[in-house]
Structure 1
């Protein structure tokens, strides 16, 4: 590794130091592609750390074999999730700027160069710079080339209410973060295995650090069914994030700010309803848990005086149906779109 990148941040004349941190959990099928992309950068990283988050012994052995060809550091820890692995990597590093990379994704060749050049000169409250990325399948076949631009309309992030109402689409694997800002907010919240990125960047924003968007792709984001984006872990994490936001942003009637009604319900409710409907239709092993999550969510909404009675009635009706009718009936109701009297129920179940 080169000890000093050739690019200069923001025209300051000072070469920044950059660490790349890759959380690893039983990802031997993908990790070589990720690591290779880091060592093929046009501007090299000063440090590369792969954090083994309690993988199986044979998976851990794959890292040793890979480290014989690429000079990265391996950090071992007990399994604690992606957020805790990233935090451990940051704690073990010294560089002033931080880049992350998920084990199944990979950098485009000028990832570090583009992001370092976007660091503004002499900005005391610099927080992070983020860019776009490609979406691809597990074999790196490209599906889309503008995920961030298409996913969120507001760049850079300037409005708290927009950040509460919508997913941020700031991905750690396509970002460069100031260590000062990262440390100021305590890093990732390890309770999340999904939404930990939104949570981190929201807290950095709230601390008054700046953010900047680069309208270029720097990473290839490979989506497949084993990704954190899929499965029950994401559902659980989404619910934890909703609860954290609901607690952090109580309504302020004197300022006419009704966070739950105007921002959190529009953002999260459809997810929780859809998860419960889908698990009920298929009568799968997570049916009881998904219904329980929906009921816990509903308890928060029903207790809030700003949410209208009609909205509360619809939510109660959905829960009543899912608790009392059979999976086949739920599926049948969902498919009936033209019969008189059922259109309202159909809308509730969609």
Structure 2
């Protein structure tokens, strides 16, 4: 048998080195932006460390916290946990962008610091993405919302998205915590817009859907925790950001989109407890699109005051969950 040549030996060695290096590279980069979340950040980190898929790096980006958030993060000895710090509070998208720039994984996921993954989140999204065609740059999963220990809403991922108008017609993709992308998507779509005070997920998704499709994963793999102090502040920011979307993407807002915007405004006012303003916008959306069942439901529900509105929507959510469990 002929002995291998020097070139063959060199080539074999390079292949071996490449394999060793590449096998040690994180398969997934998970980015957690955080600001003054000392109370919650540990829960989010633990949910990542408990994943059934262990090939990841976790980039926690502290956005100028003034509490003990950084101390909590740095207390983790797991070498997959990395803490990046911004000197001043620049906003969640600035923190996410810093994470993207430092990410070394082939795939990128995000997790808000007061949310948590189910243990199979990373494994499930990566299996889906590795089998997806090139036009699928990302996936989104179903998620549950919890407020004061009670499950208040479930958002089901059951629709493939390909048209940016779906973001303003009837938003289905929900938000960063239940998204996962190929890392090269950000080279094509661009980074996240740091100027938006809210609805940052919608703004990015409009641009994303101009380049790629978004594939659903129906499993409930994320829990979003709502808490007092966050809700009214977020509503104010979202109302401001809504005007920004209307300006930046005015070409997308036809009559159907405007009806959805009014419906969304109604939801924000209802969450803030202003049922009278919510009622105005629900009925306004219904006048524009009178045959939409959910517009009909919320317009009628708003007639029963805040208590009745909550009760009707709680019943609606329990019904959706039962259908999901027994189908």
Tell me the TM-score normalised to structure 2 length: 0.68
Deviates more, 1:66-75 or 1:40-49: 66-75
Deviations 1:211-240 (CA, angstroms, capped at 9, x unpaired):
211110111111122336734222222221
Partner of 1:227: 230
Partner of 1:342: none
Match of 1:260 among 253, 263, 277: 253
Deviations 1:157-184 (CA, angstroms, capped at 9, x unpaired):
1344333312233322112111111231
Partner of 2:215: 212
User: Contact (CA 8 Å) 1:132, 1:148: kept in 2 or not?
Assistant: yes
Displacement of 1:192: 2.0
Tell me the TM-score normalised to structure 1 length: 0.64
Unaligned residue ranges in structure 1 (runs of 5+): 1-14, 250-258, 283-293, 295-309, 312-333, 336-350
Displacement of 1:83: 1.1
CA distance in 1, matches of 2:246, 2:112: 24
SS of corresponding position for 2:126: helix
Closer/same/farther in 2, CA of residues 233 and 263 from structure 1, 3 Å limit: same
Match of 1:143 among 136, 152, 159: 152
Closer/same/farther in 2, CA of residues 70 and 121 from structure 1, 3 Å limit: closer
SS of corresponding position for 1:118: helix
SS of corresponding position for 2:191: coil
Closer/same/farther in 2, CA of residues 39 and 277 from structure 1, 3 Å limit: closer
Closer/same/farther in 2, CA of residues 268 and 58 from structure 1, 3 Å limit: same
Match of 1:113 among 114, 123, 127: 123
Closer/same/farther in 2, CA of residues 277 and 176 from structure 1, 3 Å limit: closer
Aligned residues: 256
Match of 2:50 among 22, 40, 44: 40
Deviates more, 1:154-163 or 1:39-48: 154-163
Unaligned residue ranges in structure 2 (runs of 5+): 1-24, 276-280, 282-286, 289-302, 305-327
Displacement of 1:275: 7.1
User: Contact (CA 8 Å) 1:38, 1:44: kept in 2 or not?
Assistant: no
Partner of 1:241: 245
Closer/same/farther in 2, CA of residues 60 and 271 from structure 1, 3 Å limit: same
What CA RMSD, in Å, does the superposition of the two structures yield over aligned residues?
A: 3.3
CA distance in 1, matches of 2:55, 2:234: 30
Closer/same/farther in 2, CA of residues 193 and 49 from structure 1, 3 Å limit: same
CA distance in 2, matches of 1:262, 1:166: 12
**Map 1:160-171 → 2, pairs under 5 A:** 160-171=164-175
